[in-house]
Amino acid sequence: MILRWDAPDAATLRRALADLPHPASRLRSTNFRDVYFDTSDGDLRTRGARCRLRFTAGGARSLTLWQPDGTHIEERVREVDAVAALNGTSPPAIRLRALLDPTRLVTWIERDVDRTCRTLRLPLIAVPLCDVVVDGIVLRRGEVVATLTELSVHPRPWGQGAAGRVARALEAAVPLRPAGNDPLQRALRALDAVEAEGIGRELRGEREVALVAVEHGRVGLCRSGAELRLPVHRGSGEAACRAALRELLGSGEGQLRLLGVVPRSGDRVPLEVWTARRLHRHSSNGETLQWFTPADLVARVGSPMLRDPGTLAALTVAARSPLVPEWSGAPFGDVTEADDAQAPDAIAHDSRVTLTELRVATLPDQAKDPARLAPEQYLNAELSWLEFNARVLELAEDSRTPLAARLRFLSIFSTNLDQFVMTQIGALKQLVAVGRNVAAADDGGLKPQATLDAFAVRLGPLLARQYRTFRTLAPALSIVRWADLADDERTQLRARCADEILPFVSPKALTRAPGHPFPVVGDRRLALLVALRDQPGAGPLHYAIVELSPELPRFIAVSPDGNQIATEDLVRANLDLLYPGRVISSAHAFRLTRSGDLQLDEATTANFLQAIEEELVRRQSRPVLRIEFESGTPQALQDLLQRELRFEESERESTLSAADVYVSDGAVDLGGLREIAAAASLPDYPAFVPAQRFESQRSVAEQLDQRDVLVHHPHDSFPGSFERFIIEAAEDPSVQAIKLTLYRPGGPSTIANALRGAALAGKDVSVVVELKARFDEARNIAWARSLERDGIHVVTGLVSLKTHAKLALIVRRTADGRVHRHAHVGSGNYNPDTALAYTDVGLFTADPRITADVHALFNELTGSSHAPRPQLRHLLVAPTTLLQRLLALIERETEQARAGRPAHIRAKLNALSDSTVIQALYRASQAGVAVDLVVRGICTLRPGVPGLSERIRVVSILGRFLEHARIYHFGHGGEEEYYIGSADWRPRNLRRRVEVVAPVFDPTARRTLDRILTQELNTPTAWLLRPDGGYDRLQG
């Protein structure tokens, strides 16, 4: 029988382990993680059942189901993630499906255990008698977190007596309290107690105060190791703040102002946020605050050094408050203090720490074990994306970038942000709204609300930089305002506005009068909030919304000399044409961003294409996530629109808050600058002529029969390679079949015409069109309908999976009756427009090792609605084989390094965020493998951390072209292997999409891939990822 006790703390127990009375083994440490699942309404608990998935330090996973009759089934599972394991083929998973649908299950309780143990043995013969175990346990249920420390003695055969003696000795040495043997019941009691305490504190009116202490443009934070946080103390009001100051500085003197209150969240009581200035220090009190400029801090908010939830919530309030201009003002810098304030020199030198020293990551030993999945090992994905968009903005700020390109980068910054808000920010807000504000260990340990707070704090300064850059460039753009126009220009434009613009404008009364429903403003559509009266100077104000059609251009030409006027400025000046006889009091531009998610039940939808079409219509009325106002919009009008939007969402709880409202430092929506950037008169990058990789005298097929051809777009011609490949196949009488995947094909193209011609010629043409390609759904639906009308067999995706693979197959029947195949495997979309702007790689081959696998995979894609499971020899296919094979390749390099042989991993990716792959890379680094990665965007791996990842180097390249290629390279002891394909190392690519990665056998092609990786890893203008998640430009 196992004996268990609750104990005061793990440190005391571990000391007791060192003094055990019998000969004992050395201390051993391990860890594991238990995740208990149930439905949101507790269906399993109601039935007397439980479901647990355990993740061990060694990477093993076991699924256990306790059944209503008291029996249980436990089995190790091969599936890597929880969703796959719960829906897998193991005996517990099969039995679970007899109880309920596993898709209804959500995470209920998480139990993270750090275990230390020793085995007591008999003297001389060393027979094990019992194991003494100390468990440090962290419990999570939603936002509630509890901790436990447990001591247990596990008797071995013949060791009952020894176990009893050890138990009595421990009870005498350490204050212990007997505990039950059901870990789940103990977890529930601990979590309930913590939750009850939090509710009790709220009912008692308990609060905390957070101090934003400011001196000479610097903010004071407390430092604990490499982490920073604002001073937070129990209490409420000015008295609590002064008590906190006395504790910190030895004096309670200072100027205090209340900035706002952060509501209760989880087990955190309401938090009052105060600013403190004109502080005084008692000479005998040691300095306890470290002082940093906001400019230094803002880019690190949410990073491992600055991620305390209370601090992030308080900084969100401070960043939006006019009382803290250091955060909310456009330029960060020193502010003038009162004459009697302490001079900057009086701040102790050691308190004015730069963030450079804190960027050197130091982790405790237990956090260096990759199997632990410790939050300290990971960066936050959303903030990593924000860093990527900041690098885009940096290109726009760079005076060496041509003017047209600078405008494109400003536009890309805006459109990137739009899509991110619609997807990731919307998803985070939904998690908070439904009470799932839970931190993920492999996402930097930030809860969704903390991520939203950090995002809001960091975004403001980026937007300020964007508008400063736009104002710098504006004089060269010939953008004029209505007030600057001559009378004859106004007359001509007014006529054009009446004939060409106003027919595409929708005025909508902002009223709740009968017959006038609330005006729904479309997603990302520019609109004017208009205040008007019926008579000059008399009568009440009425309000209306004037919505501009997205079909209208963003700017209107004024004159042949190139002057342009913003469309909203032109409409605003001519609103009297819409409201004759009324008096226009004011009109201010705004824009809404709505949730971009499509709510589809793929398993039960009868007509998938039609269901997506209907969802696209509903997308225009999805919940509002962000409001942008142009500068100068009165606060009263801002408040009016926010109230009306909350009324629009009366049937659901609105997630709109003050943090979702942005007042632009100028015009709304700089995404429209792409129109001006397209002007031929603006300086741009020099033109270049792409290379032709195929000879013009011979067919592509003939050349592929002799050798493989690797292309690198846009340096190599897309029309001269892939388009030619398809056109020649469509026109070749020996071609029997053409098969193709399309993810983002763009508009009408040569490829579509070729496929249409092939179908008319009687060839078997099959196309997999992915309808769920986000924000390209409507365009892809048009492709699917058009291809079907032309007699082409169209597959519109698989259930619960996106087909992201880039594949093409041509099947020929030769004169002697043999079947001959040619294939293309690539990283980029078959889109002639993006082929000019994205760097991608593609492999053309007739190698039967590749073409046979491609053919087998197409048979699966067109012959089944579920995940493909072909028996392939060489292609790596997600979600079935790619992840397992990738981990095996990394492990092979790890074993090479452990054996003392050279080992090297290189990869070029769009993003890296899969925790299982990152754990494998950490193990490789610890074993001595050199890991060099080119990751354009999101990267949650922390490189350069001593003891964890110091042999991993990550660079990011942004510039003229969007880096889109995926290339993997493994040293393999000199027998090098190269792969190309469509998959990034993210959970969605490895687990929820159909992706294809192919080996490259051709020596010439491999040398090309080696050259690409070598050049990009040594690009002098690349950005280097630091351990704290920030990026440094290698050369300016």
**Cα 865-867-873 angle, rounded to 5 deg:** 125
Query: Please, what is the angle between helix 915-927 and helix 882-898, to 10°?
Result: 10
Report the b/e string of 103-141 with b at 16+ CB within 10 A: eebebbbbbbbbbbbbbbbeeeeeebbbbbbbbbbebbb
Q: How far apart are CA 37 and CA 83, in angstroms?
A: 11
Q: How far apart are CA 822 and CA 684, in angstroms?
A: 39
SS3 state at 991: helix
Q: Cβ of 399: how many Cβ atoms within 10 Å?
A: 7
Distance between start and end Cα atoms, the chain: 67
* Identified catalytic residue from 588, 712, 713, 804: 804
Q: How far apart are CA 546 and CA 510, in angstroms?
A: 10
Q: How far apart are CA 885 and CA 891, in angstroms?
A: 10
Task: Identify the DSSP state of 430.
Answer: H
Q: How far apart are CA 1029 and CA 940, in angstroms?
A: 8
Structure tokens belonging to residue 552 = 């209208």
**C-alpha radius of gyration, the chain, whole number:** 32
709, 703 contact by CB (below 8 A): yes
Structure tokens belonging to residue 675 = 């129109």
Helix and strand element counts for the chain (H, E) = 30, 43
| Closest residue by Cα to residue 685 from 406, 466, 382, 327 | 406
Q: How far is CA 97 from the centre of its chain?
A: 32
| Closest residue by Cα to residue 683 from 477, 503, 498, 485 | 477
The one-letter amino acid at 810: I
519, 510 contact by CB (below 8 A): yes
Phi/psi at 458 (nearest 5 deg)?
-80, -25
Q: Cβ of 1020: how many Cβ atoms within 10 Å?
A: 8
**Cα 429-432-436 angle, rounded to 5 deg:** 135
Q: How far apart are CA 304 and CA 377, in angstroms?
A: 9
3-state helix, strand, coil in the chain (%, to 5): 35, 25, 35
Query: Please, what is the angle between helix 608-619 and helix 777-789, to 10°?
Result: 150
Q: Cβ of 19: how many Cβ atoms within 10 Å?
A: 10
Q: Which helix or strand (DSSP H or E) is residue 35 part of? A: strand 28-39
Tell me the sheet residues that pair with 742. 769
Q: Which helix or strand (DSSP H or E) is residue 98 part of? A: helix 91-99
8, 175 contact by CB (below 8 A): yes
Q: How far apart are CA 978 and CA 97, in angstroms?
A: 41
Establish whether 964 is a catalytic residue: no
Q: How far apart are CA 141 and CA 536, in angstroms?
A: 61
Structure tokens belonging to residue 63 = 């699924």
DSSP for 838-890, please give it.
EEEEEEEE--HHHHHHHHHHHHHHHH-SS------SS-EEETTTHHHHHHHHH
CA dihedral 561, 562, 566, 569 (to 10 degrees): -10
Q: How far apart are CA 885 and CA 985, in angstroms?
A: 13
Q: How far apart are CA 92 and CA 583, in angstroms?
A: 72
Peptide bond into 879 cis (omega under 30): yes
Catalytically annotated residues: 804
